[in-house]
Amino acid sequence: MKITSTLGILTLTSTFLAAGASAQTTLPEGTWRGVFHQQNADVPFNFETKGKKAAAKLYLINGEERFEASSITQKGDSVFVAFDQFDNELALKIADKKLSGVLRKKDQNGRTTAIDATFGETFRFADNGEKPLADISGKYEVVFKSRSGAEDKKVGLFQQKGSKLYATFLSITGDSRYLEGVVQGSKFYLSSFIGSGAAYYTGYIGSDGKLNGTASGQPFTATKSEAAALPDPYKLTYLKEGYTSFDFSLPDVDGKKISLKDPKYKNKVTIVTITGTWCPNCIDEANFLAPWYKKNKTRGVEAIAVHYERKLDPEYLKTAIGSFKKRYGVEYDEVIGGLVDKKAVAESFPALNAFLSFPTILFIDKKGDVAKIYTGFTGPATGEYYTRFVKEFNDEVDRLLKEPAI
């Protein structure tokens, strides 16, 4: 649900990169409020900087999450903040405790979005003095409508504390992660940013208590309901009739072919995740699976990630997957499935009835048969849904470990 609007390709002036003519400027440590200037809206976000020069770090703030940027490079009065998993960077000029510049691709091709930021501002949306009309905390049945009129049903989770608002939207493919905003009178606003595009939701509270809003120009309505639910994620993806096992022979970044029939996986309970370094929900999954694997690998379990990436250039893959492995501490095998394309994934694995979401998790028993398939990922922003997933994940692995080997 990320929005990537743009004002057009911006030209960076020579002073943006120059260090000689202007005085050296150090990025101040502390809190910042940034604003993306998109075509139809200004979208705010918050971040924090710590350390100086080579030791500098930047953390994007969304609700209770602190999402660390991959790196910060300072050159004179300019600073470059990299988000390797999205192949993006912020290219900014520092002046009088303010930043201005663009969000762009690291190779500087494609669209850009203008941004500025002010040091010391801790608010997200400016306070207009209006008290909230109501407390909209709760669970909602949400219907998004496309331009064609097609409906996409989701579950909305809202938590309001005074005028502050926190939310996430669950769908069959995952969740929108941490959204943070405000309720002012009858209106509400939400945003988030982790290095891809800025997400922005706005709407109002109707006289009937329903929420009406838009996200990336897509309208939605939300009706409060404790019964709001999505289809069972264990029943969306399954093996076609006649199939019981699941296998592949795919290369890692060094070209070594890896298969589930390799001795390493024999008589092991194996978790296979179909994933990608560019995918926000896949990031949440790796943040769970990597430490889980470290803790459980001596119990007779294995894991393997099948990556579908934006480019198949060998150097790009080594950089992207290497960065992903280092950031999340991945110790299980990672192989290359192909380019990001759900149809291509389905064609790669003809045993599957369909492919609906990155990530998709397969539980493989000791015999090499598929025990369960979980579509999507409900991350920590979903609260009780994430807690439930973790319990079900561990219960299923425990059950499979008790089964006899071949």
Query: What are the distances in angstroms from CA 303 to CA 296, 300, 331?
Result: 10, 11, 9
In the prediction, which pLDDT does 405 show? 84
CA-to-CA distance for 31 and 50, rounded, in angstroms? 9
CA-to-CA distance for 345 and 274, rounded, in angstroms? 9
**Number of other CB atoms surrounding residue 174 within 10 Å:** 25
Please give the CATH topology (third level) of the domain spanning 14-119. Answer: Lipocalin (2.40.128)
The tokens for 287 are: 């943040």
Domain ranges (residues) in the chain: 14-119, 138-224, 249-402
What does the pLDDT look like over 98-109, one tens digit per residue?
Answer: 999 999 999 999
Q: What does residue 206 show for φ and ψ, rounded to 5 degrees? A: -75, 165
Rounded to two decimals, what is the model's pTM?
0.91
> How many Cα atoms within 13 Å fall on the side-chain side of residue 293?
22
**Number of other CB atoms surrounding residue 59 within 10 Å:** 15
In the prediction, which pLDDT does 54 show? 84
Secondary structure (DSSP) of 141-210? EEEEE-TT--EEEEEEEEEEETTEEEEEEEETTEE---EEEEEETTEEEEEE-SSS-BEEEEEEE-TTS-
**DSSP state letter for 246:** -
Report how far apart the first and last C-alpha atoms of the chain are (Å, whole number).
44
Which residue carries 């390709």 as its tokens? Answer: 9
- The answer to whether 63 and 381 are in contact (CB under 8 A) is yes
Query: What are the distances in angstroms from CA 296 to CA 201, 301, 316, 363?
Result: 39, 7, 31, 15
Q: What does residue 3 show for φ and ψ, rounded to 5 degrees? A: -105, 130
On the question of a common fold for 14-119 and 138-224, the answer reads: yes
To the nearest 10°, the Cα dihedral for 105, 107, 112, 115? 70
b/e per residue, 123-151, with b = 16+ CB within 10 A? ebbeeeeeebeeebeebbbbebeeeeeee
CATH of domain 138-224: 2.40.128.120
pLDDT tens over the chain, length 406 residues: 444 444 333 344 343 444 444 444 788 999 999 999 998 899 999 999 999 888 999 999 999 999 999 999 999 899 999 999 999 999 999 998 999 999 999 999 989 999 999 999 999 999 999 999 999 999 999 999 988 889 999 999 999 999 999 999 999 999 999 999 999 999 999 999 999 999 999 999 999 999 999 998 899 999 999 999 999 999 999 999 999 888 899 999 999 999 999 999 999 999 999 999 999 999 999 999 999 999 999 999 999 999 999 999 999 999 999 999 999 999 999 999 999 999 989 988 999 999 999 999 999 999 999 999 999 999 999 999 999 999 999 999 999 999 998 7
In the prediction, which pLDDT does 78 show? 94
What does the pLDDT look like over 32-55, one tens digit per residue?
Answer: 999 999 988 999 999 999 998 889
Give the architecture (CATH level 2) of 249-402: 3-Layer(aba) Sandwich (3.40)
In the prediction, which pLDDT does 12 show? 42
